[in-house]
Amino acid sequence: MGIKVAKFGGSSLCDAEHFRKVKAIIESDPDYRYVVPSAPGKRFDGDEKITDLLYQCHRQVESNRSHEEIFKKIADRYLGIARELGLDFDVEGLLIETSNAIRQYKNPDFAASRGEYLNGMLLSKYLGWDFIDAQDVVKFDRQGSFASEWTNEIMREALQKHSHAVIPGFYGSYPNGDVHTFSRGGSDISGAIVARAAQADVYVNWTDVSGFMMADPRIVKNPKCIRELSYRELRELSYMGATVLHEDAIFPVHKAGIPTNIRNTNAPEDPGTMIVVNPSPDHRPGDQIITGIAGHKNFTLLSIEKAMMNSEYGFGRRVLQALEDFGVSFEHLPTGIDTMSVVVADKELVTRKDQIIQRIQQTCQPDSIEISAGIALIATVGHGMTSAPGTAARLFTALYEAGVNIRMIDQGSSEMNIIVGIDIKDFETAMNAIYRAFVKD
Ligand code: ADP
Ligand code: ASP
Ligand code: MG
């Protein structure tokens, strides 16, 4: 017998009907030993996610307004699920306690974490499994960075005491015990942490799509599903915007050599996508040279030009020092002979753009600095892709024929991706053009 860890996303636990699907999945395979739930997500377009409502509650409390009206919407969701499933424990009492604690602690992370906490309580009662509070077994350091080895130790010890358990996703605690959350979508990370500590054979991430698609299905119609990909390819795709899995969910399982299987709670018979350390050589259909495409909006391109830049000692360092001095990180750094471009996320620049430019002017004395905001980046990813003849030509021709102007090109040294920077307005057109150029129906 093996060990499987299952994480269910918010859409997979949005109402009682989905809880039933989850139970059927878990009971269909005795290898499932640990389950990591998210908070209930949207049931339909325009519905509200519990986590969003909890953040709203916190904002009310913080500005000394009542959060009761908003909390009632949250309570109704959980009460409805408990009633429909016939759970007989004091959900109402738990909800009152939670509402009071949100008011008392005035802590956004604590408030947000209650979505997973309450859902975990409900699911553990429904499955008849033990409940392990993530606050006790997922640790952050005092600065809020995830403490991976410490967590692994205490999580492993805790799991050994429970043959079957539910561990809520998304949160843990600081050394002093106060609740702290991962960034949004962080239950994927919790699931990977549990899989590592359980030394699982596979981490099954149950969501609302039948696997990782070659492109975001909200942008490209009916993209093909990726059957198998490597963790390195996944890292490139999720970093660049394929949001199906949180980008930090990769590290715990990759390190431990545990594959991740993305599956659909609403179509459990579909095999989904396997993410592995070393994909089989024929993991892509014969004529297909790429694995997937992902993109992200809202970047700024700083293009710095200076004649003979390449022979000037320390030029690049001084440009990057200007960014570092103002606490700004960069995404990409494509360079030419007399030009250097730095791609920075817009949100990093909001208040510091003018100071950075001034600093670069002073320390580098460039001939010109051009600032282009409103840039979108698209990464085309696949092992060995860039060494296949004609790949770049095919990509650039597709964009040219679609009337998309390329503002920047960055071909990573990994032979695994080509990134283009384009105007935001061309984002959807470019994603579709690249997809059609590489994928035959
Ligand atoms: P969960 O609530 O299960 O954590 P998410 O909403 O976080 O689910 O992630 C699943 C969603 O990711 C899908 O519904 C889909 O809209 C989106 N998505 C973005 N890029 C991709 C992709 N390449 N393949 C599949 N889904 C994608
Ligand atoms: N519930 C949290 C969020 O909405 C975490 C998660 O869903 O993974 O971001
Ligand atoms: Mg998610």
Tokens representing 318? 């001084």
Tens of pLDDT along 205-233? 999 999 999 999 999 999 999 999 999 99
Nearest bound ligand to CA 204? 1
Average pLDDT of the segment spanning 261-288: 89
CATH 3.40.1160.10 domain range(s) in the chain: 4-276
Q: Which amino acid, one-letter code, is at 374?
A: G
**What is the location of CATH 3.30.2130.10 in the chain?**
292-438
CATH fold for the domain made of 4-276: Carbamate kinase (3.40.1160)
For the CA of 53, the nearest ligand? 2
- What was the pLDDT predicted at 192? 98
Instruction: Look at ligand 2, atom 7, and give the residue with the nearest C-alpha.
Output: 185
In the chain, % of residues over pLDDT 90: 85
For residues 261 and 274, is the Cβ–Cβ distance under 8 A? Answer: yes
179 exposed, middle or buried (CB, 10 Å; 0-12, 13-18, 19+)? Answer: buried
How far apart CA 202 and CA 195 sit, in angstroms, is 7
Tens of pLDDT, residues 102-129? 999 999 999 999 999 999 999 999 999 9
Give me the mean pLDDT over the 338-348 stretch: 91
Which tens digit of pLDDT belongs to each residue from 19-57?
999 999 999 999 999 999 999 999 999 999 999 999 999
Mean pLDDT for all residues in the chain: 94
Q: Which atom of ligand 1 is nearest to the CA of 205?
A: 3
- Residue 243 pLDDT: 84
Q: Of the residues 170, 190, 243, which should be mutated to test ligand 1's pocket, given the most ligand atoms within 8 Å of the CB?
A: 243
Is the CB of residue 208 below 6 angstroms from any atom belonging to ligand 1? yes
Output DSSP code: residue 146.
B
- For residue 312, what pLDDT is reported? 86
Residue identifier of the C-alpha nearest atom 4 of ligand 1: 9
Q: Can you give the pLDDT at residue 284? A: 74
- What are 59-101's pLDDT values in tens digits? 999 999 999 999 999 999 999 999 999 998 999 999 999 999 9
Average pLDDT over residues 274-294: 85
Give the pocket of ligand 2 (CB within 6 Å): 10, 38-39, 49, 51, 115, 169-170, 184-188
- Ligand 1 contact via 242 beta carbon (within 6 Å): yes
> What pLDDT was estimated at residue 286?
67
Model pTM? 0.91
Check: CATH 3.40.50.720 for 292-438?
no
In the chain, % helix, strand, coil (3-state, to 5) comes to 45, 20, 35
Q: Which of 110, 116, 167 to mutate to test the pocket of ligand 2 (most atoms within 8 A of CB)?
A: 116
Task: Locate the ligand 1 atom nearest the alpha carbon of residue 215 and give its number.
Answer: 23
Contact 317, 364 (CB under 8 A): no
